[in-house]
A and B are shown apart, each in its own frame.
Chain A
Amino acid sequence: MINASLKQLSQALAAKQISSVELSTLFLDRIERLNPTLNAFVTVDREKSLKMAIAADVRIAAGTAGPLTGIPIAQKDIFCAEGWTTTCGSKMLANFVSPYDATVIHKMHAEAGLVSLGKTNMDEFAMGSSNETSFFGPVRNPWDSSRVPGGSSGGSAAAVAARLAPAATGTDTGGSIRQPAALCNLTGLKPTYGVVSRYGMIAFASSLDQAGPMAASAEDCALLLNTMVGFDERDSTSLDRPVEDYTRDLEKPLNGLRIGLPKEFFGEGCDAEVMAAVRAAIAEYEKLGATTVEVSLPNSHLSVPAYYVIAPAEASSNLSRFDGVRYGYRAPEYDNLEQMYEKTRAQGFGAEVKRRIMIGAYVLSHGYYDAYYLQAQRIRRLIADDFVEAFKHCDVIMGPTSPSTAFKLGEKAADPVQMYLSDIYTIAVNLAGLPGMSVPCGFVDGLPVGLQLIGNYFAEGQLLNVAHRYQQATDWHQRWAVVE
């Protein structure tokens, strides 16, 4: 049951082989036993979870259940959930109990009937690629507890990889779903910007943030994505388009699929053994009937610098609301208003968050705005245009998700630029607003490697199909970390 797919769990629940309460208890017990080593969850509330499980069992008994009703999952602690402590990995919100549900949470709880097992650890305000910036301490990679799980959705990745939850939600601003998925041997999908509502998802960089599923397989991701998407009038950047069933095209054959291989992704900067695994995966695709074509993303080398202007700029403004006035942390001692702000924010935010706020404030300030922010926006447009051009020659783009396998805790913590380069292959996708996935495609020294798939706008269904067919032919995604 622990390693069962969502489909299998759904069938077991429908056949009354197991109840949602039993299933949820199974995972809650595993969390209780294994979380102290992994630190994947920051909040677990057995009573709340079981209440949802009971409600799900009632729906199942009444015959009003949806396909995922009663299945327990883990929620990244970036989503506001009514009555749940919602910390975003920060001291600033360590005691913040949300009075409302994010749209994604509402859809999963009230509509789909999923059971939340708890809130998962993450880099503070989603700023990081290793989960080391969390106020609640680092998360351990289930494949090697001396290594990072990736970030910022590291808690979700570790939880699913260690089977503390069958699946989880993540968010991806520059690679925060795909990179931890790669480092933990998971399948993760970042949808097209605007497909999943951002309402109630604590903002890091509003124009880049997008929520998505993290699970063992493409099929699981498709099922979970079905519960997350849809137009939301409370999010002005949400797209009003017909809802689709992402499982519909899963089985489509890949004959004639044109895979674009950007030469910029296959040059220097990537670990050779990671690259070998990626190439082997592409060879597998050729066996499945796909062809490859070299494409070019000539501005991709500018994506990291452009991202580290735009994302901090938006973050510096988004995080201004954490001022100690209305909720969240407030410094215990201060003499005046200015001091209250200074001390509250100095004490409430960690080093990486402060670094990005400073960068963001700097690039937006008078006299620097044109040189940094506007220039970065221009680059962003060029990067998006590169993809438009590339997709004239191919259906899907492939390459590595991350230039290396999971690195050691502390290895890159002292060097922010090295850390930022972990996302060198993922960031351009966010800047362009495209959908992207990471799919398990092999191991190097016992550590998982991820293959990145990038689709055209709204091609989530196609990406899931491409990933699923590969997972029919390979079993990388069915190798489980040994955590006990």
Chain B
Amino acid sequence: MTQWEVVIGIETHAQLATVSKIFSGAATAFGAEPNTQACAVDLALPGVLPVLNKKAVECAIRFGLAIGADVAQKSVFARKNYFYPDLPKGYQISQMDLPVVVGGNITLQVGQGDKAYEKVVRLTRAHLEEDAGKSLHEDFQGKSGIDLNRAGTPLLEIVSEPDMRSSDEAVAYAKSLHALVQWIGICDGNMQEGSFRCDANVSVRPKGQAEFGTRREIKNLNSFRFLKEAIDFEVQWQINEIEEGRRIQQATVLFDPDSGETRMMRSKEDAHDYRYFPDPDLLPLVISREWIARVQSELPELPVQMRERFVREFGLSNYDASALTANSEIAAFFQLTVGAAGKQNAKPCANWIMVDLAARLNKEGKDIAESPVSAAQLAGLIQRIADNTISNNIAKKVFEALWNGEGATADEVIDKQGLKQITDSGAIESLVDEVLAANPANVAEFKAGKEKAFNALVGQVMKAAKGKANPQQVNDLLKQKLAG
């Protein structure tokens, strides 16, 4: 049986976080009443002209620098001509032959735990363009409505090379890109509002074959789950087609989340001739070295750089450092926590964030930015573990209390709920004595060589101490007494 290899390239439209549109002064805010954020330019009234928004260009430069690409000193806006009611000019201003960003790459972590591996995906290009408006086909009794609020919203179209070999890699790429554009502040990443949407070019080929198979493009995937489901379905469909002796025809397809299937939108034969040509209303976009240098100086530390620093500075593993730099919010949270808890506590900080906090957030469907336990609170908690005020087990209780707002700090919770660990050896000794006296059977079993009996005795002591006794001290004292 043929072994199939999947080949995926992704085109992403990231809506740039500018206040105004790419070629007009109208606002870009989401959710306004239809057609209230469309000025004469957006409406394409006769005689109006586009003027490029420098902030949008700056976003493109930031992105280019963040992925190690060439920021073109000269790029050209072109008109993509086609008729559609939500495209007011009858053409979209985009970039064709000379895009603003060329090349670059993104390093991603795919999979988890032992199966995790690193992958570098190369980028082909990124270019600036304007979004179209929206056609509203409901609520108009047989007619369609047009909302031009979105018309002219700046987009960065980011095109990857066909470097991904599974839907997991595709999702990891999309997530990394999604995190990066937010990290560098060029896109709000809101997928429900369409600020970040992906098209996946998918093909399959027999393993070992050099040339690519014929691809089909899945349009407009606006969640990571849909991206994965769509690719998985499409891959299986293509393999079935080929195995049943049919050829794949190049086509554009849509994914239906309800059925989980892709279906053809248009074949290559009905592809438009967009009659691209340089827009004579706009001069070539010239970006000076000085401008690039200024943007570079304003760029935050990038995820890759931060990851390396975490390894170097805090002695974290590569895996931990990657997880903590997966997005800007988790990275910020970790840095605040370490900052407050101290560098020597970096590893427990990482663990608490990646394990306990992550699990709790996950359970409630919350984002780390909305965490009820702040970085400062978590740091306080970790410090109390470090100085033996509480054990790890009690710490989980304190964490839960902080989560539920039962105290402003870990110290307050420990105090109020009397959770301070008992380290006074006299107090522990008397507890141990009590337990030994009350459980002669366990003592006899231990002495007969049953190690398990020891654990039972530890448990009894801890129970008597309401979990607050220092486990190490309990262990030591018990051993001492039993040996004596």
- Point out residues on A near B: beta carbons under 8 Å: 79-80, 86, 88, 93, 96, 98-100, 102, 198-203, 205-207, 233-237, 313-314, 316-317, 319-323, 325-327, 337, 341, 361, 364-366, 369, 373
Contacts and interface: CB of A to CB of B under 8 A. Distances in A.
Given A199-B47, A233-B51, 10 more contacts: A79-B47, A80-B47, A86-B46, A88-B46, A199-B49, A202-B46, A202-B47, A234-B49, A236-B281, A323-B90
Interface in B12-48: 40, 43-48
A364 B275 contact: yes
Contacts of B282: 236-237
Given A80-B45, A98-B45, A317 B88 contact: no
A99 B83 contact: no
A99 B88 CA distance: 17
Contact of B83 (A86, A313, A320, A369): A320
Contact of A317 (B49, B50, B52, B81): B81
B146 A325 contact: yes
Contacts of B43: 326
B325 to A, nearest CB: 40
A96 B44 CA distance: 13
A216 B318 CA distance: 81
Interface string B43-79: 1111111111000000000000000000000000001
Nearest to A367: B273
B280 interface: yes
Given A320-B81, A320-B90, A313 B277 contact: yes
Contacts of B276: 364, 369
Nearest to B41: A234
Contacts of B49: 198-199, 234-236
A319 B46 CA distance: 9
17 contacts: A80-B46, A86-B46, A201-B47, A234-B51, A236-B51, A313-B277, A314-B280, A316-B81, A317-B90, A317-B91, A317-B275, A319-B90, A326-B43, A361-B275, A364-B81, A365-B273, A369-B277
Nearest to B272: A366
Contacts of B88: 321, 325-326
B122 interface: no
A207 B283 CA distance: 10
Contacts of B89: 320-321
A473 B282 CA distance: 44
B471 interface: no
A220 to B, nearest CB: 26
A323 B91 CA distance: 12
A325 B85 contact: yes
Nearest to A319: B90
Given A99-B40, A325-B85, A320 B91 contact: yes
A193 to B, nearest CB: 11
B51 A341 contact: no
Q: Which of A80, A320, A327 is the most central at the interface, judged by chain B CB atoms within 10 Å of its CB?
A: A320
Given A236-B283, A366-B273, A100 B83 contact: no
A200 B85 contact: no
Interface string B308-336: 00000000000000000000000000000
B44 A317 contact: no
A337 B85 CA distance: 9
Nearest to A93: B46
Interface string B89-119: 1110000000000000000000000000000
A151 to B, nearest CB: 19
A361 B52 CA distance: 26
Contact of B280 (A207, A323, A337): A207
Nearest to A200: B47
A237 B44 CA distance: 18
A93 B47 CA distance: 12
Contacts of A96: 46
A27 to B, nearest CB: 26
Interface centre among B48, B83, B89, B275 (most CB of A within 10 A): B275
B139 to A, nearest CB: 18
A465 B48 CA distance: 34
A317 B45 contact: no
A430 to B, nearest CB: 12
If over half of A's interface residues share one DSSP class (helix, strand or loop), that class is named, otherwise mixed; here it is loop
A137 B281 CA distance: 31
B281 to A, nearest CB: 5
A100 B282 CA distance: 22
Which among A93, A321, A327 has the highest number of chain B CB atoms within 10 Å? A321
A369 B273 CA distance: 11
A320 B81 CA distance: 8
Nearest to B43: A326
Contacts of B273: 365-366
B145 to A, nearest CB: 11
A330 B396 CA distance: 70
A100 B40 contact: yes
B141 to A, nearest CB: 16
B46 A236 contact: no
Minimum-distance CB pairs A-B, first 8 = A320-B90, A364-B275, A206-B280, A207-B280, A200-B47, A321-B44, A202-B46, A80-B47
A317 B47 contact: no
A100 B280 contact: no
A242 B282 CA distance: 22
Contact of A237 (B46, B48, B283): B283
A234 B44 CA distance: 14
Given A100-B40, A100-B45, A320-B91, A236 B50 contact: yes
Contacts of B46: 80, 86, 88, 93, 96, 98, 202, 321-322
Given A102-B47, A198-B49, A373 B277 contact: yes
A102 B46 CA distance: 10
A199 B48 contact: yes
B51 A99 contact: no
Interface in B281-306: 281-283
Nearest to B146: A325
Residue in B83, B90, B273 whose Cβ sees the most chain A Cβ within 10 Å? B90
A367 B435 CA distance: 92
B385 to A, nearest CB: 61
B44 to A, nearest CB: 4
Contacts of A199: 47-49
Given A320-B83, A321-B88, A237 B281 contact: yes
A474 to B, nearest CB: 38
A100 B39 CA distance: 11
A370 to B, nearest CB: 11
A201 B45 CA distance: 11
Given A321-B90, A337-B85, A341-B83, A203 B277 contact: no
Contacts of A341: 83
Nearest to B25: A234
Contacts of B283: 236-237
Contacts of A100: 40, 45
Nearest to A199: B49
Interface string B144-156: 0010000000000
Nearest to A201: B47
A100 B51 CA distance: 17
B180 to A, nearest CB: 30
Contacts of A80: 45-47
Q: Which of B46, B79, B273, B280: most chain A Cβ within 10 A? A: B46
Nearest to A374: B277
A178 B81 CA distance: 32
Contacts of A317: 79, 81, 90-91, 275, 277
Nearest to A207: B280
A102 B40 CA distance: 12
A326 B44 contact: yes
A153 B479 CA distance: 108
Contacts of B45: 80, 98-100, 327
A203 to B, nearest CB: 7
A88 B46 CA distance: 9
Nearest to B38: A326
Contacts of A365: 273, 275
